[in-house]
Amino acid sequence: MGENSIIVPAGRAPNLVGVIVTWRAITHQGLTRSQNEDAHWVTHVVESKTDTESSSRYVFAVADGLGGHRGGAIASRMALKAIKEEFHSWHGGEADRMIGRAMQNANQNIFCVAQSDPELFQKMQTTLTIVALDNDSLVIGHVGDCRLYRMRDGHIDQLTRDHTMASDMLKLHLISSKQASDHPGRHQLTRSVGGDPFMNADITRQQVQPGDTYLLCSDGLWSELTGEEIRSALQENDMSRECEKLVRLALSRGAPDNITGIMFHIDVLGKQAASSFSWRSLLGKG
């Protein structure tokens, strides 16, 4: 679990270009799994551009190793390792390329390890969803059935599409939305990281606005919740309480899978001017 926001050290207050975000992450093994095959990562960096300006960038990621397959936990952690390595050489801009490289590297690494010992790592795969925040844009890299939701002005949108048999059939208009929600292929993946030597990832870009709240989560969380429960949680101000509430709801319904969720809120967007410090103003003297 974790919560964070940028803190500017005392005595140094540069103009901040980019975003200021508050976030909360939570994970739980669930009630039936022998281990937690989910993995998540949140990081941010404040990088000086000039003596008077700095920029902030964030990355949020959730990977869900395929349940019941040996090596699922290894696969999810290998995926995050590939993201971390790519992030450390990223200095802003072209977030779509950074995410694309990270996801392809993750796929290649996991596939090669799985092929090195097929008996030990049989069907070792993972889902992976990455969100990179840079300036006023949000870039999403997505493979599998983790989901990213956005609450904006009281309206909730799902920004990712599940790569499952049911979702693919819905896209082709072979079944209805209601049928998709109960379809036996609801959790049957049609894309994963590490399953094939070449992977097709969805990489999309969204504009962010101050006040936006997002939920990035594994299917172990969203599949046990209603859309109204997710919408209600994203409308509240206390992210710590709401994350814990969503996990408690999933646990109360049996939680057959691992559970991971990251909630984050856009506090400031754009350029925040540094306020000048003065003992006279502090003491209330003009």
CATH number at residue 105: 3.60.40.10
Helix (H, G, I), strand (E, B) or coil at 109: helix
Within a domain: residue 22? yes
Within a domain: residue 213? yes
pTM for this predicted structure: 0.86
Within a domain: residue 71? yes
Q: State how many domains the chain has.
A: 1
End-to-end, the C-alpha distance of the chain in Å comes to 45
Task: Enumerate the β-bridge partners of residue 150.
Answer: 157, 214
Share of the chain above pLDDT 90, in %: 59
pLDDT over 50 (residue 17): yes
Position 268 scores a pLDDT of 80
Within a domain: residue 164? no
Query: Each residue of 133-176: pLDDT tens digit?
Result: 987 789 999 999 999 999 999 999 999 999 988 777 877 778 77
Give the phi and the psi of residue 46 in degrees, each rounded to 5: -110, 115
Give the span between the Cα atoms of 10 and 31, in whole angstroms. Answer: 45
Query: Each residue of 80-101: pLDDT tens digit?
Result: 999 999 999 888 889 999 999 9
Structure tokens, 285: 């003297």
Q: Domain range holding 128? A: 18-146+190-272
Give the span between the Cα atoms of 260 and 250, in whole angstroms. Answer: 11
Within a domain: residue 256? yes
Give the span between the Cα atoms of 109 and 197, in whole angstroms. Answer: 10
